[in-house]
Amino acid sequence: MMKKVKWLLVSVIVLSLFVLAACGDKNATKAAQSSLNSGQPAPMFELKDLNGNQVNLASYAGEKVYVKYWASWCSICLAGLDEVNELAGQDNGFKVITIVSPNYKGEQSTKAFTEWFNGLQKEQKSNLTVLLDEDGKWAQKFGVRGYPSSYYIGSDGILAKSAPGHNFNDAIIDNFKKIS
């Protein structure tokens, strides 16, 4: 009987120490609160848009962001351009950013791409934010292997999901329902 009481007392003390240690670790609690999604932090890009304005991911802190890497020579990308433009014009609880990489993996120069893009019909591009990733520096950090490629960033800045190929708008919206 005495052994059981001793064992119970030791168990209660050890358990209490674990509870106190977990409650007292402010850094662990803070880390758990700041990372709502599983994954790695998204690459914190800073790129220029087609008008030369600087855009960085940090300016979207606290917001979900859909990033689509695409290329002007990619037939699948061009076929989905109207769809991503439509998505960018909707309020679905996340921002839509598209990125092209001039002078990287067959993409034309910044000047040539900008002229080509500006020549598209307004309905195809009116809602799009297009950023220029010169020489694919950020594409490499994102791990882009082919075009198009999609990246889902949670409001905590975590790259929660990536997906190669075309993603239909319904699938994008559904994916963001699972991301905080």
Strand partners, 7: none
Check residue 37 and give its pLDDT: 83
Reduced to 3 states (helix: H, G, I; strand: E, B; else coil), residue 46 is strand
**Mean pLDDT over all residues of the chain?**
85
- pTM over 0.85? The answer is no
Asked whether residue 132 carries a pLDDT value surpassing 90, the answer given is: yes
When pLDDT is cut at 50, 70 and 90, the band that residue 131 belongs to is very high
If you count DSSP H runs as helices and E runs as strands, how many of each does the chain have, helices first?
8, 8
Distance CA(111)–CA(101), nearest Å, equals 12
Is there a contact between 101 and 69 (Cβ–Cβ < 8 Å)? Answer: yes
How many CB atoms within 10 Å of residue 72? 18
When pLDDT is cut at 50, 70 and 90, the band that residue 1 belongs to is low
Tell me the fold of 40-177: Glutaredoxin (3.40.30)
Is there a contact between 65 and 153 (Cβ–Cβ < 8 Å)? Answer: yes
